Structure 1
Amino acid sequence: MAVSNWNLDKSHSGINFSVRHMMITNVRGSFNEFSAEVSADPTDFTSANVTVTIDAASIDTKDEGRDGHLKSPDFFNVEQHPNFVFKSTGIKSKGGEDYELTGDLTIAGVTKSVVLNTEISGPAKDPWGNEKIGVIANGSINRSEFGVTWNAALETGGFLVSDTVKLHIELSFAKA
């Protein structure tokens, strides 16, 4: 097959994260506004080009006060850096549907290379004849490497917010 463009099916997609809070529990959240551009040959995903753009202000942790703090200069500074951007730099097959997706991630104006363990399913035709692929990507980043360093020491030792942020991304695409 030839390289095709794939359109994001946002109603079947999500970008989620979790981060350890107070060293005892996890805060979970998502980003409600994002887009993705994919160019790929569905018979050889290792040649795919992927760009994901996330509206940083669309963060949702189910706590308006916390979301406001995350949007502030203490964390993402969304007024100066409204978007996070991921651009793929390489995809390696690990066999079957398993891949290692490497790319440059930009958060708050800082770009670092990240690696995501990725599953790519499909292509498959839906009941209306549309060709679809599904992508699940998991990994973690160190937020301080992106200059997102705000924290508070706890009386019992440790810090309020972990440096490690776990990512869980599920995206669905339809062939253009």
Structure 2
Amino acid sequence: MGLRAQVRTRDGWAVQHAVMTVTDMTGTQVIRAAADEEGSVRTDAPLSPGPYTVIVTAAGYTPAASTAFVTATGRAEAGTVVLARQGGVELPPPGIWTLDPAHSSVAAVAQHLGISSVHGRFLEFGGRIEIAEDLEKSRVEAVIGAASIDTGNGMRDGHLKSPDFLDVERFPEIRYSSTGVVPAGPDRWTVRGELSLHGVAREVDLDLSYLGTGPDPWGGVRAAFRATAELRRDDFAMNYNQVVQAGISAIGATLRVELDVQAVRGKRLPGV
């Protein structure tokens, strides 16, 4: 019985402090409930069959309204309610933000044999984000240890570190340096920058989502971001191309980079 709903941001994160208000068609409030840590709202009080208006609010977000229909069982599913941040394109406060490797990931996905994907990640990386008063002048600097690649298979990792791919002996670091930030929609940005990989520097854009800012247990302030990019191996002189039957390459020509980043406000991480 009652009403069920999930409250999420556009990027799928739970909105823990959301409040759901339900009114009947006369405008009389019949339910008011808060979301839990998972962004779930559940009420047990039975409702009379018929249509209801569901309004979800949360500080910093634009309210969302929808209609829910209660069945003869006294229960209704409002589904997933998506809240958009007020202002949409607002980034964290200006200043230096330091990447926290312990709560971030740098991953890559490549197609294998044309039918599946191989997932890998880099275990050693660092960097910083500088949020400028003029947001388009904000900067991102990052460095990745090429030899820290980990795909869960030692033989494959050894091949990736070899001259066929990353050639980590000659090129131990992968570097990214941004040149500008351009709004691309609510909560989304395009980061223009240069990637230095395998001795080759190319312009690479990151599709960036800003996921929010909040306090951490250590007295700091954190901001969360998600970014993706697509690279072509041959743009970075990684031309290894074993061909299997029917002309299908063992490893795809493109590589999808997926970044999930937490950054701490300030030039140093807590305890460092």
TM beyond 0.5: yes
Letter in 2 for 1:113: E
Equivalent residue in structure 2 for 1:116, among 199, 206, 209:
206
Q: Which runs of 5+ in 1 are unaligned?
A: none
Q: Are 1:91 and 2:181 counterparts?
A: yes
What does 1:35-74 correspond to in 2, within 5 Å?
35-41=126-132, 45-74=135-164
Q: Does 1:28 align with 2:126?
A: no
1:4-15 map, 5 Å? 4-15=95-106
Q: Larger C-alpha radius of gyration, 1 or 2?
A: 2
Instruction: Describe the SS at the equivalent of 2:189.
Output: strand
Deviation of 1:2 (Å): 7.1
Counterpart position of 1:144: 234
Is residue 160 from structure 1 mapped to residue 250 from structure 2 by the alignment?
A: yes
What is the CA RMSD across the aligned residues, in angstroms? 1.7
TM-score w.r.t. the length of structure 1 is: 0.93
1:114 maps to amino acid: V
Give me the identity figure in percent.
31
Q: Tell me the equivalent position of 2:36.
A: none
After superposing the two structures, state which structure 1 stretch, 77-86 or 45-54, moved more: 45-54
- 1:47 CA drift (Å): 2.4
* Higher mean C-alpha deviation, range 21-30 or range 121-130: 121-130
One-letter amino acid matched to 1:134: A
Secondary structure at 2:230 match in 1: strand
- CA-to-aligned-CA distance 1:84-118 (integer Å, 9 cap, x gap): 10100111112331001111001110010011210
Distance in 2 (CA, whole Å) between partners of 1:30 and 1:96 is 29
Cα distance in 2 between the residues matched to 1:32 and 1:129: 26
Structure number with the higher strand fraction is: 1
Aligned length: 175
- Scaled by the length of structure 2, what TM-score is found? 0.61
Question: How far off is 1:128 after superposition?
Answer: 4.6
Contact 2:100 2:126 in 1 (8 A): no
Judging changes above 3 Å, is the alpha-carbon distance between structure 1 residues 44 and 127 closer, same or farther for their aligned structure 2 residues?
farther
The 1-side partners of 2:211 and 2:249 are apart by: 39
* Residue among 126, 130, 136 paired with 2:216: 126
Q: Secondary structure at the match of 1:156?
A: helix
Instruction: Give distance in 2, aligned partners of 1:174 and 1:44.
Output: 20
